[in-house]
Amino acid sequence: MNLDTVHWQYLQGQPSGTGLLKAFAEDFIVREQLGYEPCGEGEHIYLWVRKNGLNTANVAEQLARFAGVHPRNVSFSGRKDKYAITEQWIGVHLPGKTDPDWNAFTLPGVEILKAVRHNRKLRTGTHKANAFELVLREISQVDEVNSRLSKLSAGVPNYFGEQRFGNRNGNLHLGARMLAGETIRDRQKRSMAISALRAWLFNEIVSCRIRDKYFNQPMDGDIMLLAGSNSFFCAEQWDETLQQRLNSQDILLSAPMWGEGALASKGAALAYESAQVQQHAELCAGLAALGLKQERRALVEYPQNLVWHWQEDCLHLSFSLPAGGFATAVTRELFNPKPAIAQTGGK
């Protein structure tokens, strides 16, 4: 099973220059945007946590131990980068219990900045967006990067970033061994391996649509996502009304997140998607056998609140992406990343 991750297409063509991402943790700052405010009462405690050098799941485990609850009573909406400074909400379910002294919680690299009660569990994927503040160093082709910056707001491929595949694609290789029959007893490692396999297939289909000039060109039968929602519909016959909605970003083209069951697309889109995945029949069968359901993910992501400036030969870039978007899918369109001083890891 060939699971190469370096061949995926670029929307504007592969950049000729290089740059340095994540030279230091302070060069990559992520702040979760929940989209609502905790109400101040209820049996769930939302903790606003800043971390550096740790992954989200490990922090959640330590919080569960400190609060004296089972790890399943601690939840988070999304995993954040390990080698970065990130701020996010982590929820702790404490029915009928008083608040622990959160000031007494000690874990190097972690600060609890705020604790607020809420009446609902913090569930996976419920946050609205993530805001990024990046410092990009050692840019070799400044003019090219400036030209590419001006095109980012028009959208970039919604690829899963390298973080999803793990250091040196470790999660992806583990997933391949799992499909070959290896037993993975660690639930977190198994989950990350499955996610990596599914993400790889999604990226593959996105890359094919760019290659074949269908990234911005809809087909009859394409599945359209409603912006800001998990709802979708099949555009069985493309028309001007749908094109206007697509142009205004009210609806978004999508690609499959593979699982068991039939593709939702129809007509020309169904024929196209089926042709692409036929090349990866073993992977598709393996994902379906795991009990995953067919889902959809947007082909394109649109960086919002995009701002940049140059300072001392460094590019300072800030923007926000909907939940599930990867900042590295944005920077990928600007330059080829050089090996970082601080080893980058997974979410």
CA angle 116, 117, 118 (to 5 degrees): 120
Tokens linked to 115: 């604790």
pLDDT level of residue 187 (50, 70, 90 thresholds): confident
Predicted confidence (pLDDT) per residue in 254-286, tens digit? 999 999 999 999 999 999 999 999 999 999 999
The answer to whether residue 54 scores a pLDDT higher than 70 is: yes
Kindly give the interhelix angle for 170-179 and 187-211, rounded to the nearest 10 degrees: 100
223-244 tens-digit pLDDT: 999 998 889 999 999 999 999 9
What one-character-per-residue DSSP string does 50-73 give?
EEESS-HHHHHHHHHHHHT--GGG
Residues 137 and 314: their CA atoms lie apart, in Å, by 5
In this predicted model, what pLDDT tens digit does every residue of 98-149 receive, in sequence order?
899 999 999 999 999 999 999 999 999 999 999 999 999 999 999 999 999 9
> Considering the entire predicted model, what is its pTM?
0.92
The mean per-residue pLDDT over the stretch 44-70 comes to 96
Q: What is the pLDDT at residue 346? A: 39
How would residue 341 be classed by pLDDT, with cut points 50, 70 and 90?
low
pLDDT digits 0-9 by tens, 193-218: 999 999 999 999 999 999 999 999 99
Query: Which pLDDT score, from 0 to 100, does residue 149 have?
Result: 97
Q: Is residue 134 helix, strand or coil? A: strand
| Residue 97 CB neighbour total at 10 angstroms | 13
Identify the band that residue 8 occupies on the pLDDT scale cut at 50, 70 and 90: very high
- Catalytic amino acids? 81
